Structure 1
Amino acid sequence: MQIKNFMIDQNLKELTEHRTVMLPIACYETTINKNIHGFIPLHWHDEIQFVLIAKGEAIFQINEERLAVQEGDGLFINSGCLHMAEEKNQSGCVYICLNVSPHFVLSQELYTTYVTPYIQATNLSYLYVNANEPWGKNILDAIVKINQWIQQKSPYFEIDISIQLTLIWKNLIINRFQLEYDQTEMVKNHRMKQMLNWIHLHYAEKIILDDIARAGQLSRSECCRYFNRILNTTPLSYVTDYRIQKSLVLLQEADSNVTEVAYQVGFNSTSYFIDKFRKSMKMTPLTYKKGKIDDC
């Protein structure tokens, strides 16, 4: 299964239901450049996520850190962490994504001791899974097996998956990293989500820096520092980029036109929208629209 359009609510929480018919998990292959945006946009979810790069190379951002993940290796992304992904060097990156409810990883009796401390730790937003490390190879091999079993639905595959999830988690925590719980980091993450939430609710309206800063209970300068540190952009540049992202879906509607779309997503000038769209997408909105219609 390829998720081409990540459905995200106003809080940036992904709306895709991460479960099979019987299990609170989802496992699917994703080709990054086939997403409607050409990349996987910023989002978060309650599920923990394991990634295996099957082809090419990807750049992931988790909270404020960016890292490259090469073919054959993988990544653990913790519950509630903001993350996004783009392919590196037009490598045609394909990855297997395994999303799991933390409560399904281990039995209820073991959850408090062996799961809760890890998903609440503020210094474990992600972990690079190296195929050359025995524990890493065990995790990556288990992801491949789970992906195959979900597709094949062989007898007792649910039990097999449960066993592999226990194996994955054991191999993750044998690293024995020192867990930390920093209240400042928790507040910072919450404020960033508040600001992004406000933008996603009001992107079609006139937005000024004061509005965004107020949503995060920050000064203007501190608001700018948050965006620069975590997203490597300015608050208002993020607003522009988000408006362009929202325009992509509207432009694919047969009866839409560029001017209407520009105003629907918050631009007060068609020419300004076209200019920003061209810089972001390397084509005009009309060219993008015609290309998508031709693909249908």
Structure 2
Amino acid sequence: MQIKDFMIDQSLKELTDHRTVVLPMACYETTINQNINGYIPLHWHDEIQFVLVIRGAAIFQINEAKTEIREGNGLFINSGCLHMAEDKDQTDCIYICLNVSPQFVLSQELYTTYVYPYIQATNLSYLCLDPKESWARNILDSILKINQLIQKKSAFYEIEVSLQLNLVWQNLIINGFHLEYEQTKILKSHRMKQMLNWIHLHYAEKIMLDDIARAGQLSRSECCRYFKRVLKKSPLSYVIDYRIQQSLILLQQPESNVTDIAYQVGFNSTSYFIDKFRKSMHMTPLTYKKIKMEDD
């Protein structure tokens, strides 16, 4: 299943329903450059995520860290962590994405001891899965099996999926990670999500740096440090990028007008919108619109 434009709410929480008909999970293949943005934008979800790259390579960002994942390798992304992905060197990266509700990983009796402490740990935002390590190879093999099971839907496949998830989690925690719980990290994550949430609610309005800082209960300088650390850009640069993301959706509507869209997404002049759009997308909004109309 290819999700070309998955939905996120104002806080960047993904709205995709990560479940099959009966299981609180989902497993599908994603081609990064087929997303409407050309990359998987920043988002988060309550589910834990496992990734297995089956073609090319991708750069994943998880909270403040970036890591390259190549074909045959994988990644674990913990619940609630901000993350995004982009294709590496135009390799047309495809990866299997397994999203699972933490409560489904193990039985209710085992969840408190063997799952909850791990999804709450502040030093376990992600783990790279290198098949050279036996525990990681076991996880990657199980991801492949789960993907095949969900596609085939043979009799009693749900039971086998559940068994494979048990193996995945056992191999993840068998290394005996030292878990940490830093209140400052929890607070930073919460404030970052608050600021992003505010931007996504108000992106079409006039936005000042003071507004964003206030949403995170931070000073202007500390607000800028948060964005530089996590997103490697200033708060107002992120606002511009987000406005352009929103314009991509509107430009695909047949009756849309570039000038109207510029004002709808918060730009105060058409020329400024076109300039920023060109720098971001390497083409004008009108050219982008024509390409998308031809694709249809």
TM, length-normalised to structure 2: 1.00
Report what 1:69 is aligned to: 69
The yes-or-no answer on 1:166 pairing with 2:166 is yes
Report what 1:114 is aligned to: 114
Amino acid across the alignment from 1:175:
N
**Structure 2: gaps (5+ residues):** none
* SS of corresponding position for 2:3: coil
Report what 1:207 is aligned to: 207
Amino acid across the alignment from 2:224:
C
Report what 2:261 is aligned to: 261
**Structure 1: gaps (5+ residues):** none
> CA separation in 1, counterparts of 2:16 and 2:217?
30
| Cα offset, 1:6, TM superposition | 1.7
| Cα offset, 1:75, TM superposition | 0.2
Amino acid across the alignment from 1:185:
K
> CA separation in 1, counterparts of 2:131 and 2:288?
39
Report what 1:132 is aligned to: 132
Report what 2:42 is aligned to: 42
Report what 1:195 is aligned to: 195
> CA separation in 2, counterparts of 1:93 and 1:149?
23
Report what 1:252 is aligned to: 252
> CA separation in 2, counterparts of 1:249 and 1:132?
42
> CA separation in 1, counterparts of 2:192 and 2:13?
13
Report what 1:222 is aligned to: 222
Identity in percent:
75
> CA separation in 2, counterparts of 1:107 and 1:240?
45
**Pairwise CA RMSD:** 0.4
Map Cα deviations across residues 171-220 of structure 1 (whole Å, 9 max, x no partner): 00011110000000000000000000000000000001000000000000
Q: Is the 8 A contact 1:6 1:41 kept in 2?
A: no
> CA separation in 1, counterparts of 2:290 and 2:145?
41
Report what 1:85 is aligned to: 85
Amino acid across the alignment from 2:15:
L
| Cα offset, 1:132, TM superposition | 1.0
Amino acid across the alignment from 1:59:
I
TM, length-normalised to structure 1: 1.00
Runs of at least 4 residues off by over 2 Å: none
Q: Is the 8 A contact 1:29 1:95 kept in 2?
A: yes
> CA separation in 1, counterparts of 2:273 and 2:83?
27
> CA separation in 1, counterparts of 2:277 and 2:177?
44
